[in-house]
Amino acid sequence: MNGKSFTDTLKEVQSRSAGQADTASDQLAPDLMDLDGAYQAHARPSNKSVQSIHFLLGKEGVRSFQYVHLDSDSQFRTGSSGQVIVVRFAGLKSVQVTIRGRNLWRLYDYLHQHRMPWIMRADRDFADDKEPIITAIDFEDVV
């Protein structure tokens, strides 16, 4: 690694692609998470469809999928330990993504509208009862 944070590298790539010098005033695209900022369970929903979703997993990095591969058979359940969203991406290999947390109903809807650019797993459960929080994101290859 080059010692730069993911956010710094992303800013550098964005400024190069725009043909501008990297300055302190450069901003991340509004739909990308500032990884050095405070925890948010998910992005603000985009006003229009986005092409991909990024699952931010803390020290485990980021895993991303294209919305074009989102299968139509998804689930939203409520259990004793909170809420569960189950979605499946059917690309060359099918992957089931299970998202656990609280206050996730709006997230579930935005996922199906292809308007959610990223979701972040919390490293601990600290949110109040009304705030959305994602306590686990699990990936399972399905046949």
Tell me the pLDDT band of 81, cut-offs 50, 70 and 90: confident
> Whole-structure pTM over 0.75, yes or no?
no
Q: What is the pLDDT of residue 130?
A: 81
DSSP helix/strand/coil, 44: coil
- pLDDT, averaged across the chain: 80
From the list 58, 45, 38, the residue with the least C-alpha distance to 136 is: 58
What is the share, in percent, of the chain residues with pLDDT greater than 90? 43
Domain boundaries, the chain: 40-142
